[in-house]
Structure 1
Amino acid sequence: MAKWLRGMAVGLAISLAGLPARAETLTDALISAYKNSHLLDQNEAVLRAADEDFAVAVSALRPVISYVLSAGTTWTRADTLGVTTNTDVLSASLGISADLTLYDFGRREATILIAKESVLATRQALVQVEQSVLLAAVQAYVDVKLAAEIVALRQSNVRLITQELRAAQDRFDVGEITKTDVSIAEARLAAARANLAAAEGDLMIARESYKAATGHYPGNLAALPRSPKIGKTLEEARSVAVRTHPSILQGQHLVKAADGQVALADANMKPTIGLGLDVTASTRDGSAADGDSLSAQLGLQMSQTIYAGGRFSALYRKALANKDASRAGLMQTVVTVEQNLGNAWANLAVFVASIEASDRQIRAAQAAFDGVREEATLGARTTLDVLDAEQELLDARASRLQAEANRYVAVYRILAAMGLLTAEHLKLGIPTFDPEAYFDAVKSAPATSSRGKKLDEILSKIGK
């Protein structure tokens, strides 16, 4: 039984070794692009920095406690009535102060609002970067597939023209055609080989773009999956874009942050009320006044700048201007998003029409090529006629491949224009950066202890 099991295991291993490697799918490419994107890493770090700005704003609600510790010696030499006295005094003191702002007429609330809206705006900027990364991966995947298909088409063209050249040479040998026909076939073969070399160069370039987008060179790429759904009408897609596009959402948060800046500029022209506590302990040794002392002072303070040369008024007017600029920028962003979506939708319609036209062109060119080649065998057509017909068929097939590639990418461009080209919407099934996790860990401005360990765990999970 043991020998039989070992034999089955060996046979299974040999069978599996003979199977071809699993083809890399578009989903695999998108996952690699998401995981290996340095651009995403950079913007995730920018978002974490914005989260810390919120923690800094929250810290303004808490007391500030500081201490001053000092120690020193004082040496004194005195000469009184011919009597010299040397005095060496050692002293040390410890002072602790605590300050708490009780009321600042809205400064802290405005600062926290600004920090929060800046965090939310930065999150949307990260989504926009994510869309760019994934769209670049889609484009790279399709480009490699297209370049490989063009290379295969060019290789087939070289083989076909080689056959035509041989046929022309045979016909020339029996005196059916002239040397000119053979030279035409030779010229076309040289051009076909040059086009093949260019196509192979395009494939190499596409492979480099793929590596830049995904972090590795492409292997055996699987066929393209079905395009994602984008809605039936432009109006339906536009309504989604206005609600979900990250650029629009980012603009909305920036407008709210600008409102907070206005409130902060207004509050800065008002007074602040604070509570202060100072405790000082000191000791002296080596003097007539040896001993320890302890003093404490508790009091309220109210302060306000009466005149600053118009600085605060200028800052307030500046905040108002920035608020108007943010609102205008948001409206322009909506216009731009709708325009980009409309352009992408129109391009998709053009590519679909191009595919249909190319299909008709291919059928007609194939029929013409078959007919011309048959007539050439009967002497009714020249070698040039055959090569021209073959070139038209090749161009039609190449146009069909290009149109299909453009159509496929256009769908993803529409998805990006709608704000839906994300790992979550595409259901890539991988752990993604959670902006809430880090924010929740730092929003209360923790120091270390258990909250610090939580921060370390979050950074470890995201590989930072």
Structure 2
Amino acid sequence: MRNILGMAAVAAFVVAAPVAQAETLTDAFISAYRNSNLIDKQAAVLRAADEDVAQAVATLRPVVEYTLSSGWGRSQPADNAKFVSGWRTTFELSASMMLFDFGRRAIGIELRKETVLATREALKNIEQEVLFAAVSAYVDVQVQSQIVGLRQSNVRLVTQELRAAQDRFDVGEITRTDVSIAEARLAAARAALAVAEGNLMIARESYKAATGSYPGALKALPKAPSLPKSMEAARAVALKTHPSILQAQRGVTIRELGIEAAKADFMPTVTAGLSASKNSFGVNDQSFGLNLNQEIYSGGSKASVLRQAIANRDGARADLAQAGVAISEGVGATWSNLAMANAQVQAGDRQIRAAQTAFDGVREEASLGARTTLDVLNAEQELLDARVTRIQAEAQRYLGVYAVLRTMGLLTVEHLGLGIPTYDPAQYYNAVKNAPVHSKQGAKLDRILGKIGN
């Protein structure tokens, strides 16, 4: 019977999604990564953070601007009593540059660089979620396909039992009650099959949402990735490598830089300015100067900003500590769930063997008149339930391995060895970090943007 059930499951799956070549879990991972809107969005957020660095770098450079103005005016020169009036056009070119600001701009650049690094860790977290959704969808399609096969086999078996009960009723061996029981059980089996088929359709929709396309014929699950030998070893890796931990660490650094920026804001600034102008009356002006500027009193706002920055730093440190707690708990929980799934699989194997023996015995006894139709149907239902539970437990055990990897921060394209190019955060950053405008760097940036758009 086990072979018949397996053939039924395969047949149901092929009918549900006929494809020439079976898909593998690796194919699902690759499709999920390449078609993920979440990854595309986070990559765009990262590029926006890269531009913040470029904007901070730009503050180190002079600002050059021009003004062209035209209007009617009237003036009286000092050596002439007559007024001079008419349209006057003036062109002015000016340049200014911050010379010294006690580290404000340098701190701003470092702060934005740390923000970029934190955003990169957020991208890794999204990558993990996308890949876990893919493996979950892949496993769920296989589980629901196998359950559909079991339900189809159950309908056929109960149909046979109903026919046998009807034949025995016709010769007077059993009562009409036995036939009605078989009819009721067949109706229940068909209803369960309809639910299983609906669950398979839902699983296929989830697969499409996770990977970008409906599943074809799926190959058997490959061997699960290896894990550390102990929960403590897994926890140690997680506390060092998980993106949430690394992102929280960057958050602390960002807040500490915020304190330095608030302190620097108390200091003066030195700015250089250069301008040249000419108007339609032939008057030329040139000027150059240095400006020293410092705010003497601001109503206590700067001190408040500093205190706020210190509070934000303390909050970021608490976030880092809590991230460690959450990751440690996550590793412990997923490791325990994996252990429970292992135990359920082993118990399921024993349950199936016992239920199979009981079913074979009850059916044999029923053929000799020692058991009723209800006894046979109950024994078959227990065997079916045991097989469904075993399938679900095996799926949970397999997913449990990937859940542990995710809590360790290792459910990535690189760690899984998928062998596909991934979004390179350094490529765009390196192209914009020096704030290019129109240059070789600018042309390179245009090419990068073109690749991203495609």
Of 312, 316, 319, 1:322 maps to 312
1:60 alignment partner in structure 2: 59
- Pair 1:151 & 2:157 matched: no
Instruction: Extract unaligned runs of 5+ from structure 1.
Output: 1-18, 77-84, 285-291
Give the TM-score of the pair, scaled to structure 1.
Answer: 0.90
2:45 alignment partner in structure 1: 46
2:402 alignment partner in structure 1: 412
Distance, in Å, in 1 between the alignment partners of 2:267 and 2:85 is 51
SS in 2 for 1:44: helix
Aligned length: 431
Of 114, 139, 142, 1:142 maps to 139
Distance, in Å, in 1 between the alignment partners of 2:356 and 2:209 is 39
Paired residue type of 1:38: N
Distance, in Å, in 2 between the alignment partners of 1:138 and 1:461 is 28
CA contact (8 A) 2:19 2:217 kept: no
- Pair 1:117 & 2:107 matched: no
2:9 alignment partner in structure 1: none
SS in 2 for 1:296: strand
1:203 alignment partner in structure 2: 200
Distance, in Å, in 2 between the alignment partners of 1:392 and 1:371 is 13
Matches for 1:61-460 after TM superposition, within 5 Å: 61-74=60-73, 89-284=86-281, 292-460=282-450
CA separation of 1:43/1:208 partners in 2, compared to 1, >3 Å: closer, same or farther?
same
Q: CA deviation at 1:282?
A: 2.0
CA separation of 1:255/1:86 partners in 2, compared to 1, >3 Å: closer, same or farther?
closer
Q: Map Cα deviations across residues 44-94 of structure 1 (whole Å, 9 max, x no partner).
A: 100000000011111111111111112334589xxxxxxxx9976343221
CA separation of 1:301/1:279 partners in 2, compared to 1, >3 Å: closer, same or farther?
same
Distance, in Å, in 1 between the alignment partners of 2:438 and 2:72 is 38
CA separation of 1:217/1:316 partners in 2, compared to 1, >3 Å: closer, same or farther?
same
CA RMSD of aligned residues (A): 1.6
Paired residue type of 1:236: A
1:289 alignment partner in structure 2: none
CA separation of 1:374/1:40 partners in 2, compared to 1, >3 Å: closer, same or farther?
same
Instruction: Extract unaligned runs of 5+ from structure 2.
Output: 1-17, 76-81
SS in 2 for 1:430: coil
Q: CA deviation at 1:270?
A: 1.1
CA separation of 1:167/1:445 partners in 2, compared to 1, >3 Å: closer, same or farther?
same
SS in 2 for 1:28: helix
Segments of 4+ in structure 1 off by > 4 A? 73-76, 85-88
Distance, in Å, in 2 between the alignment partners of 1:258 and 1:74 is 53
Larger Rg: 1
CA separation of 1:169/1:138 partners in 2, compared to 1, >3 Å: closer, same or farther?
same
1:79 alignment partner in structure 2: none
SS in 2 for 1:302: strand
CA separation of 1:43/1:451 partners in 2, compared to 1, >3 Å: closer, same or farther?
same
Matches for 1:3-22 after TM superposition, within 5 Å: 21-22=20-21
Q: Map Cα deviations across residues 345-372 of structure 1 (whole Å, 9 max, x no partner).
A: 0000000000000000000000000000
Distance, in Å, in 2 between the alignment partners of 1:321 and 1:337 is 24
Paired residue type of 1:389: A
CA contact (8 A) 2:19 2:216 kept: no
Paired residue type of 2:453: G
Q: Give the fraction of aligned pairs with identical amino acids, expressed as a percent.
A: 59
Distance, in Å, in 2 between the alignment partners of 1:258 and 1:50 is 16
Q: CA deviation at 1:450?
A: 1.9
